[in-house]
Structure 1
Amino acid sequence: MLAAFVPRLFAIAAAFALLAQPAAAQSILRDAETEALLNEMAAPLIEAAGLAPGNVSIVLINDPSINAFVAGGQAVYIHSGLIDAADTANEVQGVIAHELGHITGGHIIRGGEAVGTATSISLVSMLLGVAAAVAGAGDAAMGVIMAGQQAAMGKFLAFTRVQESSADAAGAAYLSKAGISGRGSLAFFGKLQNQEFRYGYSQKDEATFGRTHPLSGDRIATLREDYIDDPAWDKPDDPVLQGRFERVKAKLFGYLARPERTLRDYPESMTGVPARYARAYAYHKNAMIPQALAETDALLAMNPADPYFLELKGQVLLESGRPNEALEPLRKAAAMTNNEPLIAAVFGHALIATEDKSHFEEAEGVLRAAVARDRLNPFAWYQLGVVYAARGDMPRARLASAEQQVMSRQYETALRSAQAAEAGLPHGSPDWLRAQDIAMQARAMLEQDVKNR
C-alpha cells in the first residue's frame, strides 16, 4: 500500500512546480518591423508603470494559443496567437498593460511563495495518508491524500486569481495614466469570454475553484465602470498605429500560416498593404518567386522608401538564391534604419552569400555593428563567425561560434569553442576576456544540468 502512494507524492509536487512556471516557449519570433511596433505600443505604458523603457522587453513567441505572460525579470512574452486574435493595436496594449501589472506587483516572486505553501499542505496530507496506510486504513489514507491535494490546489489557484485581479487593476491604471482607452482591453476580455462559452466553461461562481484566472465576465464587470469613467475612454484609436498593426498582423499570418490558408484569407482581389504582405510570404513559402517578387514590387510602388518593404524584397531574393540582386534593397533598408541589427544581419548574410571576397570586409563591419547593438542574435554571430573563418581569423571565428552556441544552449560545444578562442586570442584583450566569460557560463550551465538530473 505504501509503495502505491509514494509516486503520487512526487506527481503532486511536480504538478505545483509546473503550475509555477509558464509554458516553455516553442520559439522566439524576431522581426525588425514587429519589434519596433510592439516597443512603440508598449513605451507609454512602461513609462506609466514607472519602469525604464530600456529595461523592459516585449518578446513574441511562436505559439498559436491566445496568451501572454511574464516569467521573471522585466520581459513580457506575447504569443503569436494573441496577435492573430486581436483586431486592434489597442487590444494588444490592454494585454501589455495587464502583464506590466504582474511585473510591478512582483507576482513571479510571490508565486513561488504560494507554490511552497500549497506544496506543504499537499505533503502534510500525504504523510498523514501514509501513516493511515501503514495502520491498515487504506481507504481513509486515500481520502486524506485526495482532500489534501484538493485543498493545496485550491489554495494555489485562489492565489493566482488574486494576482490576475491585481494585474487587471494595475493595467487599467497604466492605460489611464498613458491616456490610452480601455476599450481594447474590454474588447479582448470579450473575446476570452466567447471562448469560455464556446468550450462550455460555466460562468457560475462555483466554476472558478479550478481556474487560474477570474472568469472573463467578472473581469469585464469589474473594469467596465472604471474604463468608461476614464477621460481616455472615447479617445479614438491612432489610425497610423492601427495601420501598422494591421500590416504586422498580416505579415505574421503570412509567415506562420499554411500558404493555401493565407491565399484564401487574403485573395488577390485584396490590394492593400496587409494583403500584399501576407501573400508575398505565402508565395515565397510555396517557392513561387515571381509572384512573391510581384507583391514586393507592388508594395514598393506604394512606398519606395519603406525599409521593411525593401527588407522583404531582399529576403526573397536572397533566399531564392540571388544574393547579388538582394544587396541593393538590403543595403538601402539597413541605411534607412540606421543599421537596425536584424536587418543588418540579413544584409551581412547576403554579402557573404555572394561568395565575393571583396564583400567580406563590409560584411564584417555590418555584422560587428549588429552584434554590438543586439548581442542576443545567434544568427548574426553565426554569420560573423563565417566571415572571420573566411578571412583566416580562426580565434575570433571560434569566439563568434561560442556566442551563438551558448545562446542555443549547446553548452559543451560552446565550452570547447570558447577555450579554443581563448588559446588563440591576445592575452588580456576584450575578446580574450569574453571567451573566458563564455567558458565560465557554459561550465556553470553544465554543472546545473548535472545537478538537475
Structure 2
Amino acid sequence: MRRFSWTVHLAGGKVATMTRLSQRFTAVAALLALLSALTVRPAMAQQFLRDAETEALFEDIAAPLVEAAGMRPGNVEFVLINDDSINAFVAGGQRVYIHSGLIASSDHVGQLQAVIAHELGHVAGGHIIRLQSGASNATAISIASLILGGLAMAAGGGEAGMGAMMLGQQVAMAQFLSFSRTQETSADIAGATYLSKAGLSGRGSLEFFKKLQNQEYRYAIPQDNGYARTHPMSSERISYLTNLYEEDAAWQNPYDADLEARFQRVKAKLIGYLDPPRALRDYPRGQDNEIAHTARAYAYHQGAYPAEAMSEVEALVAANPADPYLLELKGQILLESGKPVEALDPLRRAVELAPDEPLIATTFGHALIATEDESHFAEAKQVLRRAVVQDEYNPFAWYQLGIIYDREGDSARAALASAERFHMLGQHRLALSSARMAMGGIPQGPDWLRAQDIAMVSEHELKKAGEEIR
C-alpha cells in the first residue's frame, strides 16, 4: 500500500479591527466561518492512501449501488483517507471520501456498502451545492442582523443592538442546522432505496448507526437536543430506517461471500499498514489463514522485520500463486528491503496478471529503476508511460518517469514529468517553472502543448491566490 499525500488549505482570512465595536463581532465572525467550513465538508489537509486491491474492492462493492443511484460505475471515484475516525463524506462532484477508520471499524462488507449508499444519496441529490445555498441564506440573515444591530448601537441602543445581533446569529445557525439535518435524512432514505434496488440487506446500515450511537454514548454526546446538530440523532435514524429495512424484500439476503472475503483481507492489510501493534494483537501468530497472514505481513514490514514479513508473504503466495495483489506485496517488501533485483520477478508476474492496475505497474517501474541496471530502463519507461496514461493521479509514476528521461539526457521531458507531478500535488509555482523549462526544450507538438497547458493553469492558480508571477 503506497501513500501519495498532499495538503489543500481552506481559504480563510483575518477579521480587520477597525472600531471598538469589532471585538463584539467575534461570535458573528466565528459563525460565518463555521457556516463556510460546513459547506465544504472539510476533507482536505489529509493524507490520501492508494492501494490497487483496495481501490478495486471499492469499485466492485459500489457498482450495484452506483447503478441503483442512476449513475455509471467507473464515473464515481472512491478516495481513501488516512484518518482513524469512523466517517465518510462527499465534497462535490462524483467523489466519495472514505476514512481508514471506517474500514478498520466495519465488521463486514455490508456495513461499508451501507455507508457508500448513504454518500451516493448526497451525490445524487446534489447536496453539496444545496448545502452551500443553505449556508448562503443563513449568512444573509447573519449579515442583516449584524447591520441592523450596528445601526442600533450607533444610535445609542447598545444592549438592543447586541440583542438583535445575537438573535440573528441564533436564527441563522438554527436554519442552517435544520437544512443540514434534512439533507442527512434525505441521504438516509436514498441510501435505503439504493440498497433495496441492488438487492442488498439494510442490516449493515442499522449496525453502522448503532456503532455511531455507541460512540456518542462513550463520548457523552447529548442525545436530547437534536436541534443543535448537523445530523439527526442516531436513535431517530435507527428508528425510521428499521421500519424501511425490515419490510424490504432484501432484508434476509446474505452478503456476497467473495466480496466479504476481499473486504476482510483489505481490512487486515489496512490495519497492518497503519496500526502494526493492533494487527499483531487482532491477528496473532497461530491464526493460520489468509487474513491473518496478510495483516502480519504488513505489520512486520512496517515494523522493519523483513524476515518475518517475508515468511508471512511466502505462505500467502504459496497458497495463491496467481494472485497479483499478493505478488505485488512480495515484490514491495523485497524492494523496500533493499532487494530490487529479487523484486522484479514477482512484480513482473503481478503486472502480467493485472495489466490494468497502474499502481502495481508503478511499483514494478520503480523496482526496475532501483536496480541501477541501465538495461532495465527501457522496460521501466514503457511500463511507467502506460501507468500515467491509465491513472489520472499518479505523481510517483511521473517522478520515476522523470528519472528515466534524466538518465537518457532528455532534460526537457524530465522537466515535463516534474511539471506533471507538481501540478498533481498542487505545487503551482514549481509546476510553472518546470513547465516553462520543458517548453524551452521540447519542439512544438503534443508534449509542448501539454507543458503550455500546465503553465497556464499554474499561472491562473497563482494569480487566484494573489501570488506574484515571475
**TM-score, with structure 2 as normaliser:** 0.93
- The equivalences for 1:168-247 within 5 A come to 168-204=188-224, 207-247=225-265
Q: For residue 451 of structure 1, report the CA deviation from its aligned partner.
A: 7.8
Gaps of 5+ in 1: none
2:316 equivalent to 1:299: yes
- The equivalences for 1:262-301 within 5 A come to 262-301=279-318
2:412 equivalent to 1:395: yes
Report if aligned partners of 2:28, 2:169 keep a CA contact under 8 Å in 1: no
Could you say if the C-alpha distance between residues 327 and 339 of structure 1 is closer, same or farther in structure 2, counting changes exceeding 3 Å? farther
Q: Distance in 1 between matches of 2:466 and 2:289?
A: 54
2:123 equivalent to 1:103: yes
Q: For residue 129 of structure 1, report the CA deviation from its aligned partner.
A: 2.0
- Residue aligned with 1:58, SS: strand
Q: Distance in 2 between matches of 1:409 and 1:399?
A: 15
| Structure 1 residue corresponding to 2:270, chosen from 230, 236, 252 | 252
Q: Deviations over 1:215-257 (max 9, x none)?
A: 1111111111221111111111111111110010010011111
Report if aligned partners of 1:313, 1:329 keep a CA contact under 8 Å in 2: yes
Q: Deviations over 1:157-179 (max 9, x none)?
A: 10000000111111111111111
Q: Distance in 2 between matches of 1:315 and 1:372?
A: 22
Structure 1 counterpart of 2:167? 147
Structure 2 counterpart of 1:13? 32
Report if aligned partners of 1:402, 1:418 keep a CA contact under 8 Å in 2: yes
Structure 1 counterpart of 2:366? 349
Structure 2 counterpart of 1:132? 152
Structure 1 counterpart of 2:12? none
2:335 equivalent to 1:318: yes
Q: For residue 31 of structure 1, report the CA deviation from its aligned partner.
A: 0.2
Q: For residue 130 of structure 1, report the CA deviation from its aligned partner.
A: 1.5
2:451 equivalent to 1:435: yes
2:396 equivalent to 1:376: no
Letter in 1 for 2:377: F
Q: For residue 73 of structure 1, report the CA deviation from its aligned partner.
A: 0.6
Report if aligned partners of 1:29, 1:60 keep a CA contact under 8 Å in 2: yes
More helix by share: 1
Report if aligned partners of 2:268, 2:279 keep a CA contact under 8 Å in 1: no
Gaps of 5+ in 2: 1-19
Q: Distance in 1 between matches of 2:181 and 2:30?
A: 23
Report if aligned partners of 1:2, 1:134 keep a CA contact under 8 Å in 2: no
Q: Distance in 2 between matches of 1:410 and 1:155?
A: 38
Report if aligned partners of 1:62, 1:80 keep a CA contact under 8 Å in 2: yes
Q: Distance in 2 between matches of 1:376 and 1:432?
A: 20
2:71 equivalent to 1:51: yes
Q: Distance in 2 between matches of 1:7 and 1:112?
A: 22
Structure 2 counterpart of 1:449? 465
Report if aligned partners of 2:43, 2:91 keep a CA contact under 8 Å in 1: no
Q: Distance in 2 between matches of 1:163 and 1:382?
A: 42
Q: For residue 132 of structure 1, report the CA deviation from its aligned partner.
A: 2.7
Q: Distance in 2 between matches of 1:328 and 1:413?
A: 36
- Residue aligned with 1:53, SS: coil
Q: For residue 97 of structure 1, report the CA deviation from its aligned partner.
A: 0.7
Q: For residue 202 of structure 1, report the CA deviation from its aligned partner.
A: 3.4
Structure 1 counterpart of 2:137? 117
Q: For residue 84 of structure 1, report the CA deviation from its aligned partner.
A: 1.0
2:40 equivalent to 1:24: no
Q: For residue 339 of structure 1, report the CA deviation from its aligned partner.
A: 4.5
Letter in 2 for 1:11: A
Letter in 2 for 1:241: L
| Structure 1 residue corresponding to 2:436, chosen from 392, 406, 419 | 419
Q: Deviations over 1:121-164 (max 9, x none)?
A: 11111122222322333333332222111111110010000000
Letter in 2 for 1:341: P
Report if aligned partners of 2:415, 2:434 keep a CA contact under 8 Å in 1: yes
Say which is worse superposed, 351-360 or 236-245, in terms of deviation. 236-245
Q: Deviations over 1:178-199 (max 9, x none)?
A: 1111111111111111112222
Q: Distance in 1 between matches of 2:422 and 2:357?
A: 23
Report if aligned partners of 1:5, 1:130 keep a CA contact under 8 Å in 2: no
Q: Deviations over 1:45-99 (max 9, x none)?
A: 0011110112110111111111111111100111111111111111111111111
2:184 equivalent to 1:164: yes
Report if aligned partners of 2:142, 2:172 keep a CA contact under 8 Å in 1: yes
Q: Distance in 1 between matches of 2:347 and 2:356?
A: 10
Q: Distance in 2 between matches of 1:216 and 1:107?
A: 20
- Residue aligned with 1:181, SS: coil
The percent identity for this pair of structures is: 58
Q: Distance in 2 between matches of 1:238 and 1:11?
A: 47
- The equivalences for 1:328-367 within 5 A come to 328-367=345-384
